[in-house]
Amino acid sequence: EPEVTQTPSHQVTQMGQEVILRCVPISNHLYFYWYRQILGQKVEFLVSFYNNEISEKSEIFDDQFSVERPDGSNFTLKIRSTKLEDSAMYFCASRKQGADTEAFFGQGTRLTVV
């Protein structure tokens, strides 16, 4: 069964460093998303990406965040200068079409900022 894969599974970084989280969505999917989940809290929307551009972003997704689809398969989330409060599980998701299709989530990258 096709799946969304994320790497690395765990990343530890120093405060102020840049991190790039990587995702390979399912190959024929058109909509891509990043979410985050701080430990013990709910899943929060960060950004959606469609047709090679950002479709929507939340207030969390400020200038420190960026997304890219550098080739036909990868989808990345970059955090330019990490803060302690960026520590969370980051999930990538993809969908074949829009709101009436299921979203497939990756297993997540646990980001720890020290």
Partner 1 sequence: SQKIEQNSEALNIQEGKTATLTCNYTNYSPAYLQWYRQDPGRGPVFLLLIRENEKEKRKERLKVTFDTTLKQSLFHITASQPADSATYLCALDTGGFKTIFGAGTRLFVKA
By the rule CB under 8 A, 104 interacts with partner 1? yes
**Torsion sign across C-alpha atoms 29, 105, 52, 1:** negative
By the rule CB under 8 A, 56 interacts with partner 1? yes
Q: How far apart are CA 91 and CA 109, in angstroms?
A: 7
Among 17, 41, 73, 112, binds partner 1 (CB under 8 A): 41
- Tell me the β-bridge partners of 112: 12
Of 2-31, binders to partner 1 (CB under 8 A) are 4, 31
Q: How far apart are CA 86 and CA 104, in angstroms?
A: 23
The residues that touch partner 1, with contacts defined as CB under 8 A, are 4, 31, 33, 35, 41-45, 48, 50, 55-56, 58, 89, 91, 93, 98-108
